[in-house]
Amino acid sequence: MRRLPLVILTLCGSLLLGACSTIGYYAQAVSGQIALLRARQPIARLLDDPDVDPRLKARLQTVRDARSWAVGALGLPDNGSYRSYVALHRPYVVWNVFATREFSVDALEHCFPIAGCVGYQGFYAEADARAAAARLRERGDDVYVGGVPAYSTLGWFDDPLLSSMLRWDDATLIATLFHELAHQKLYVKHDTRFNESFAEFVGEQGLREYLALNPQLGGAELAPRRQRREQFTALVLAARERLAALYREPLDAAVMRTRKQAVFDELRAQYRALRDGAWQGHGDYDGFFETAPLNNARLLPFGLYDADLPAFAALFVENGGDWSRFYAAAERLSRLDKGARRAELARLAASAAPSSSGEAARTAR
């Protein structure tokens, strides 16, 4: 663990948790992170403890094995991250607050020296997140509060495995583990889309390679589930584009609100048709419509994790499926200015085969 005097810098930057604009926000961020670090228990010790629930031990062993494999096979950081465990006794580690203006699809951003600009604020207590959301809502903003099972400190601290991550099946847990470690491998300030797409590619491709060696972990449902995710994301992004076009029109507020609601009604109808038709009743995203009102902010998290997956898959293929060469090429991309980086990612995506990013990546192995 780094020296505690670095907590201020880290929490205002690397944790990506939001603006340190008030003493109260800073205090909850510092106390929340310190509490997390103090609660860590070494996984090796828990595995040797006869009093630990065997079901928990089995999950911890799964993480330990995948974590060790990722160092040699994927070239991910060999450090103390995910070699300890924290029982949170709450459903999420933090709650993120997303916000936009009433007639905008652009996130209200918060910027820091290390992490750059991010489109949310994070709170360790749900009540604090709800209170912050209420203040934003009172001034007329669209707001969404979402729970977060895991996050990365980008290597500033040894991130623990969290009990909130154990809700996932083994395959999802392992992919998330690789994803979070990838953030420690490469991170670009002010470019969330690049960072998340890069980490998501590492997580998904790493999982494919790991499952090929460990088929007992399952994963048969991964491909259809990913296809449903891609299709739903496409629906959401199309709705966001319709809203962006609407907000550019010279309409008065009352008309704008009516037409805005019509876009969300259309999105709901499109989802139901997809779920009841091509998906044969799989309601993967029912909760999206049931747990929070639809508004601009509700759409913000979508697309960032998937937008550049084809580009990174193509980059992986261009480098012969060699992880070291892939990372070096991604690092070169990261040094370009944002415009040039976007243009190169677009070129890579256009060069990819018409197959999915997963299939494209597999051709390199």
Looking at residue 317, what is its pLDDT? Answer: 97
Please state, for a pLDDT cut of 90, what percent of the chain lies above it.
75
pLDDT at 1 over 90: no
pLDDT at 113 over 60: no
User: Which tens digit of pLDDT belongs to each residue from 157-179?
Assistant: 999 999 999 999 999 999 999 99
Per-residue tokens: 115: 């992490």
Looking at residue 103, what is its pLDDT? Answer: 98
Q: Is the dihedral of CA 158, 164, 168, 169 positive or negative?
A: positive
Question: DSSP per residue over 232-264, as a string?
Answer: HHHHHHHHHHHHHHHHTS---HHHHHHHHHHHH
User: Which tens digit of pLDDT belongs to each residue from 45-87?
Assistant: 999 999 999 999 999 999 999 999 999 999 999 999 999 999 9
| Residue 3 confidence class, pLDDT cut points 50, 70, 90 | very low
User: Which tens digit of pLDDT belongs to each residue from 335-357?
Assistant: 999 999 999 999 999 987 554 44
| Residue 25 confidence class, pLDDT cut points 50, 70, 90 | confident
Give mean pLDDT, residues 256-285.
97
Looking at residue 13, what is its pLDDT? Answer: 41
Share the mean pLDDT of the chain. Answer: 88
| Residue 27 confidence class, pLDDT cut points 50, 70, 90 | confident
Looking at residue 116, what is its pLDDT? Answer: 61
Looking at residue 344, what is its pLDDT? Answer: 97
Looking at residue 154, what is its pLDDT? Answer: 87
Residues 6+ away with beta carbon under 8 Å from 155:
14, 77, 79, 81, 184
**Stretch among 2-11, 186-195, 210-219 having the lowest mean pLDDT:** 2-11
Looking at residue 220, what is its pLDDT? Answer: 73
DSSP structure class, residue 108: P
User: Which tens digit of pLDDT belongs to each residue from 216-259?
Assistant: 887 777 888 889 998 999 999 999 999 999 999 999 999 999 99
The rounded distance, in Å, linking the Cα atoms of 314 and 67 is: 26
Measured at the alpha carbon of residue 1, what is the angle toward residues 47 and 330, in degrees to the nearest 5? 95
pTM given for the model: 0.84
User: Which tens digit of pLDDT belongs to each residue from 303-342?
Assistant: 777 789 999 999 999 999 999 999 999 999 999 999 999 9
Looking at residue 326, what is its pLDDT? Answer: 98
Looking at residue 301, what is its pLDDT? Answer: 86
| Residue 26 confidence class, pLDDT cut points 50, 70, 90 | confident
The rounded distance, in Å, linking the Cα atoms of 25 and 36 is: 17
User: Which tens digit of pLDDT belongs to each residue from 145-157?
Assistant: 999 999 888 888 9
Looking at residue 114, what is its pLDDT? Answer: 53
Per-residue tokens: 201: 């590619």
Looking at residue 115, what is its pLDDT? Answer: 56
The rounded distance, in Å, linking the Cα atoms of 303 and 264 is: 17
Looking at residue 20, what is its pLDDT? Answer: 39
Looking at residue 354, what is its pLDDT? Answer: 54
Please report where in the chains the tokens 């997963």 appear, as a residue.
Answer: 358
Looking at residue 307, what is its pLDDT? Answer: 81
pLDDT at 12 over 80: no
Give mean pLDDT, residues 111-138.
84
Give mean pLDDT, residues 89-103.
95
